[in-house]
Each structure stands twice: as structure tokens, then as C-alpha cells.
Amino acid sequence: MDQKKKFWGGLEIPFKKSEKEAWDAIQLRIAESSYKATKVRQLSPWKMAAAAAIALMIGSAVYFNYFSSQTMIAGTRKGEFKTVTLPDGSIATLNADATISYESNWDGNREVQLSGEAFFDVKKGERFQVITDNGTIEVLGTSFNVYSREKDLHVVCETGKVSVKSGGQEVILTPGEASFNEMGALKKVLSPAVSSWKSGVFNYDNVPLRRVIKEVERQYNVAITTDGLSDLHFTGQLGNTNLEETLNLLTAPFNLGFEKMSDGVFVVKAIP
């Protein structure tokens, strides 16, 4: 009898009843024990309401952070300028053939991706970053110009202070100073009035001729090719003139000429 009680987990088997009645009694005891062991505790109505409210708040926060913010993209075509108001009220003025992208909801993270050239007038506040393929520019509140095309990075500080990081190097700029990075060499120099491009005037100080020609292409929406030119550098001012006058100003100091081909492409070449 002791062994049978041990086997059935302490259940008392009513041997005075029939075998079927005894078996039914055992099953009933087992079912009752199982129900008590697995009974789920019910929450009171106010606790259920509080849990639902918390779940709603969490769900709303997730939706707001991940779905309400959108990536905004603004760009210009050749021969076009555009002014863009950023989420915090800062202003970006895009030069021709430039693109910026940013999140519509910054939530303290002020960050802009730039390809091309733009002038930024930044509202004071948290850190503001302009990220380019050639380096990162960081400020708190200031105005500055960024040129980032191909492997060239040029940053000019107009007001405040600007941090420029590129290729593991960093320079801090104050008004009137510029950073110059071509092929990975970052240095600080005195700046020309580069932001004058916003009024259609372009100033160059010992700038590679190839770069100046590229800018003329963007501003006038034309194609210009060069015919076997050496690595010349240009110093001077261009702008507020028609295309042919601009090409004359650009080529004459080097004894160069230009010709418009039947397909509309201009060819700059040495004068025989």
C-alpha cells in the first residue's frame, strides 16, 4: 500500500469502491490539482487600463521617431541657385548643380549631407554638421561656405568658428580664414570673398583652370572641353557677363582661345 501511495503522488485510492469509480476519483483529483497550479492571475480593471495606456505611449513614440521623420532632398540644376530653410530655421543657399539631404525631424541632431557647393547661415543651438564625401564641417552657430566636388574640399568661415575635419586632420577657422583640401592635404589659408557667388560674382585666387572651367559649365549650363592644356591656374573675377565675355576673360591671360562646335560644345585651346 505504501508503494502505491508513493507511486500516485500521495493520492488516496478508495479501494472500497469499484475499479471504475476509483479511477474516476483519481482523475478528478488530478484535474483539480492541475487547474490550481496553472490558474492565471487576472489584473484589476484599472491596472489593465494603465497597461494599455503605457503600450499606447510606447507605440506612439516608436511611430513618431521612425515613421514621422522623412529624408528631405533639395537640389539645383546647372545655371540655378536655390535657398532652402532647414528644420531649425537655418538657411542653406545652394549653388548650381548641388544637392543637400536631411531629416525632416532633427530632434536636436542637426545634420546635412552635401554634394556640391552651398552657403550656410546657421541658427545658434546644438551641434550643426555638414557631411561631405571629402570631410565634415561642424559649428554651433555661424555662417560659412562649403565647396565639395570630386576630391576638392574648400570651406570659408564668414562669421563665428568652423571646425573642418578631413583625412584624419582638423583645422579651426575664424572669419576671413579658409580650409583647402585637394587630394587629401588639409591646410588653412586667408580666404577670398567666395560667398559672392550668391550675387553671380566668382572670385578665384590661384585656382586650377580645370576647376574654373567646370564652374563656368555649371553656371551657364554648357559643355566645355579643353584641348591638351597644361595644369594652369587662374586668378581673377568672373560673373555678371554673358558666356562669350566670360570665356574671353578666362582664356585671354593664357593666350588661349575658344570655339563653339556644331553640336553646341565649346572647345578651349591654344591659339596657333
Domain identity same for 122 and 179 = yes
Report yes or no on 56 lying in a domain: no
Domain identity same for 81 and 32 = no
Of the pLDDT bands very low, low, confident and very high (cuts 50, 70, 90), residue 46 is low
Report yes or no on 68 lying in a domain: no
Task: Count CB-CB contacts under 10 A for residue 20.
Answer: 8
Report yes or no on 241 lying in a domain: yes
First-last CA distance in the chain: 124
Report yes or no on 240 lying in a domain: yes
Helix, coil or strand: residue 258: strand
Which of 164, 158, 153 has its CA nearest to residue 177? 158
Q: Which domain holds residue 101?
A: 75-195
- DSSP secondary structure letters along 153-209: EEEEEEES-EEEEETTEEEEE-TTEEEEEETTEEEEEE---GGGGGGTEEEEEEEEH
Q: Are 128 and 147 in contact (CB under 8 A)?
A: no
Domain identity same for 104 and 20 = no
Q: What is the pTM of this model?
A: 0.72
Helix, coil or strand: residue 54: helix
How confident is the prediction for the chain on average, in pLDDT? 81
| pLDDT of residue 63 exceeding 70 | no
Report yes or no on 53 lying in a domain: no
Spatial separation of the C-alpha atoms in residues 130 and 145, rounded to whole Å: 11
CATH number at residue 258: 3.55.50.30
Count the domains in the chain: 3
Domain identity same for 23 and 89 = no
Rg (CA), the chain: 37
Spatial separation of the C-alpha atoms in residues 42 and 109, rounded to whole Å: 44
Domain identity same for 135 and 180 = yes
Report yes or no on 182 lying in a domain: yes
Report yes or no on 149 lying in a domain: yes
Report yes or no on 60 lying in a domain: no
Domain identity same for 110 and 177 = yes
Domain identity same for 186 and 204 = no
- pLDDT tens-digit series, residues 87-119: 999 999 999 999 999 999 998 789 999 999 999
Domain identity same for 258 and 157 = no
CATH number at residue 186: 2.60.120.1440
Helix, coil or strand: residue 50: helix
Task: Select the more confidently predicted residue: 244 or 31.
Answer: 244
Residue finishing a domain among 195, 210, 225: 195
Domain identity same for 80 and 137 = yes
**Interval 203-218 mean pLDDT:** 90
Q: What is the H or E stretch that residue 16 is in? A: none
What's the pLDDT at 14?
45
Residue finishing a domain among 152, 180, 195: 195
Percent of the chain whose pLDDT exceeds 90: 50
Of the pLDDT bands very low, low, confident and very high (cuts 50, 70, 90), residue 249 is very high
Strands (DSSP E) contained in the chain are 71-75, 82-85, 91-94, 99-103, 110-121, 128-132, 135-139, 143-149, 152-159, 162-166, 169-173, 177-182, 185-190, 201-208, 224-226, 233-239, 256-260, 266-270
| pLDDT of residue 154 exceeding 80 | yes
Domain identity same for 264 and 157 = no
Per-range mean pLDDT, top range of 13-22, 47-56, 128-137, 147-156:
128-137
